[in-house]
A and B are shown apart, each in its own frame.
Chain A
Amino acid sequence: MGLMAQLALRKDVVVDKWFARVVDTYPAETARFLRSQKDPFANPVGRTTHQQLGTLVALLDADWNPDTARSALDPIMRIRAVQDFSAARATGFVFDLKQVIRGLMKSPDDARWIGDLKQLDRLIDEMALISFDLFMGCREKVYELKANEMKDRTYKAFAKAGLIKEVDDE
Chain B
Amino acid sequence: MNQFYLSSLLAVFVLALIAWLGALGLPWLFGIVLPYLAVLIFIVGVVRRIVGWSRSPVPFAIPTTAGQQKTMPWIQQAKIDNPSTTIGVVARMALEILTFRSLFRNTRMKMNGEEGRISYHLEVFLWLFALAFHYAFLTTLVRHLRFFLEPVPWCIQMLGTLDGFMKIEILYNPIQVGLPGVYLSGIVLLAAVIFLFLRRLFVANVRYISLASDYFPLFLIMGIAFTGILMRYFIKADVAAIKELTMGLVTFSPSVPAGISPLFYIHLFFVCVLLAYFPYSKLMHMGGIFLSPTRNMRTNTREARHVNPWNYPVKVHTYEAYEDEFREKMVEAGLPVEKMPAPAEAAATEEEEKE
Contact = CB atoms under 8 A, between A and B. Distances in A.
Contacts of B114: 40, 47, 50-51
A37 B203 contact: no
A28 B204 contact: yes
A42 B119 CA distance: 13
Chain A interface size, under 10 / 10 to 19 / 20 to 34 / 35 or more: 10 to 19
Contacts of A28: 204, 208
A29 B208 contact: yes
A148 interface: no
A31 B204 contact: yes
A155 interface: no
B110 interface: yes
A39 B110 contact: yes
Contacts of B205: 29-30, 32-33
Interface string A11-39: 00000000000000000111111001111
Contacts of B113: 39-41, 47
Contacts of A41: 113
Secondary structure at the A interface, as helix, strand, loop or mixed, is: helix
A30 B114 CA distance: 21
B121 interface: yes
Nearest to A48: B114
A24 B208 CA distance: 16
Interface string A41-56: 1100001001100000
A40 B112 CA distance: 7
B198 interface: no
Nearest to B112: A38
Nearest to A31: B204
A54 to B, nearest CB: 8
B122 interface: yes
A1 B336 CA distance: 87
A41 B113 CA distance: 9
Nearest to B209: A29
Contact of B203 (A32, A40, A42): A32
B232 to A, nearest CB: 38
B229 to A, nearest CB: 32
Contacts of B121: 36-38
Interface string B112-133: 1111000101100000000000
Contacts of B115: 38
Given A28-B204, A29-B205, A37-B121, 11 more contacts: A29-B207, A30-B205, A32-B203, A33-B205, A38-B110, A38-B112, A38-B115, A39-B110, A39-B112, A39-B113, A40-B114
13 contacts: A28-B208, A29-B208, A32-B203, A32-B205, A38-B110, A38-B115, A38-B119, A38-B121, A39-B112, A40-B112, A40-B113, A47-B113, A51-B114
Interface of B: 110, 112-115, 119, 121-122, 203-205, 207-208
Interface of A: 28-33, 36-42, 47, 50-51
Please list the 8 inter-chain residue pairs (A to B) with the smallest Cβ-Cβ separation, ordered nearest first. A29-B205, A32-B204, A38-B119, A29-B208, A39-B110, A40-B113, A38-B112, A29-B204
